[in-house]
Amino acid sequence: MVRKKIDNRIRVMIENGVILGHRTMFVIVGDKGRDQVVILHHMLSKATVKARPNVLWCYKKELGFSRKKRMKTLQRKIKTGKLNVNEDDPFELFVASTNIRYCYYSETHKILGNTFGMCILQDFEALTPNLLARTIETVEGGGMIVLLLRSVASLRQLYTMTMDVHERFRTEAHNDVVARFNERFLLSLASCPRCLVVDDQLTVLPVSSHNLRVEPVEKSEERVDRELISIKESVQDLKPVGVLAKAVLKFIEGISEKTLRSTVSLTAARGRGKSAALGLSIAAAVAFGYSNIFVTSPSPENLNTLFEFVFKGFDALEYQEHLDYDLIQSTNPEFNKAIVRVNIFRDHRQTIQYIHPTDAHKLGQAELVVIDEAAAIPLPYVKAMLGPYLVFLASTINGYEGTGRSLSLKLLQQLRTQAALVGVTADKEKLKSVATGRTLHEVVLEESIRYRPGDMVEQWLTGLLCLDATSVQPLLTGCPPPDSCDLYYINRDTLFCFHKASESFLQRLVALFVASHYKNSPNDLQMMSDAPAHHLFCLLGPVDPNQNFLPEVLVVIQVCLEGQVSKNSVVDGLSRGKRAHGDLIPWSIAQQFQDQDFPMLSGARIVRIATHPDYHGMGYGSRALALLKQYYEMKIPCIDEEKLPEDHIESISAEEVGLLEEHIVKHRLVLGSMAKHLLLVPRKSLPPLLLKLSERPPEHLDYLGVSYGLTLPLLKFWKRAAFVPVYLR
Q: Which residues contact 457 (CB under 8 A, 6 or more apart)?
A: 22, 23, 24, 25, 136, 145, 192, 194, 195
275 C-beta neighbours (distance < 10 Å), count? 28
- Tell me whether residue 511 is annotated as binding: no
- Tell me whether residue 279 is annotated as binding: yes
- Tell me whether residue 432 is annotated as binding: no
- Tell me whether residue 306 is annotated as binding: no
- Tell me whether residue 515 is annotated as binding: no
- Tell me whether residue 275 is annotated as binding: yes
Q: Which residues contact 352 (CB under 8 A, 6 or more apart)?
A: 282, 286, 293, 294, 295, 310, 341, 342, 344
- Tell me whether residue 278 is annotated as binding: yes
- Tell me whether residue 619 is annotated as binding: yes
C-alpha distances out from residue 614 to 38, 289, 479, 660, Å: 53, 46, 10, 50
CB half-sphere exposure, 442, CA atoms < 13 A:
10
- Tell me whether residue 208 is annotated as binding: no
- Tell me whether residue 533 is annotated as binding: no
Question: For residue 524, which of 181, 280, 58, 141 has the smallest C-alpha distance?
Answer: 181
- Tell me whether residue 134 is annotated as binding: no
The side-by-side arrangement of strands in the sheet containing 325-329 is: 325-329, 339-344, 350-355, 292-296, 368-371, 390-396, 262-268, 439-445
Nearest-angstrom CA–CA distance, 180 and 526: 8
> 437-440: long-range contacts at Cβ-Cβ below 8 A with a sequence spacing of 24 or more?
437/261, 438/261, 438/262, 438/263, 438/386, 438/391, 439/259, 439/261, 439/262, 439/263, 440/262, 440/263, 440/264, 440/265, 440/412, 440/415, 440/416
Report the DSSP beta bridge partners of residue 344: 325, 350
- Tell me whether residue 616 is annotated as binding: yes
Contact by Cβ (8 Å): 302, 270: no
- Tell me whether residue 17 is annotated as binding: no
Question: For residue 445, which of 206, 269, 566 has the smallest C-alpha distance?
Answer: 269
Contact by Cβ (8 Å): 612, 554: yes
- Tell me whether residue 618 is annotated as binding: yes
Calculated CA dihedral for residues 371, 376, 377, 383, nearest 10 degrees? 60
Nearest-angstrom CA–CA distance, 312 and 309: 5
- Please give the full DSSP string across 96-127, using - where no structure is assigned: HHS-EEEEEGGGGGGGTT--EEEEEE--GGG-
The side-by-side arrangement of strands in the sheet containing 486-490 is: 690-692, 486-490, 534-540, 553-563, 602-611, 703-706
- Tell me whether residue 653 is annotated as binding: no
Give the chain's length.
729
Nearest-angstrom CA–CA distance, 696 and 628: 13
Q: Where are the beta strands (DSSP E) in 243-349?
A: 262-268, 292-296, 325-329, 339-344
- Tell me whether residue 96 is annotated as binding: no
Q: Residue 276: phi, psi to the nearest 5?
A: -65, -45
- Tell me whether residue 720 is annotated as binding: yes
Coil vs helix vs strand at 294:
strand
- Tell me whether residue 280 is annotated as binding: yes
What 3 state SS string does 187-215 have? HHHHHCCCEEEEECCCCECHHHHHHCCCC
Question: For residue 271, which of 131, 137, 467, 407 has the smallest C-alpha distance?
Answer: 137
Nearest-angstrom CA–CA distance, 142 and 539: 45
Annotated binding site for acetyl-CoA: 609-611, 616-622, 720
Annotated binding site for ATP: 271-280, 450
Annotated binding site: 271-280, 450, 609-611, 616-622, 720
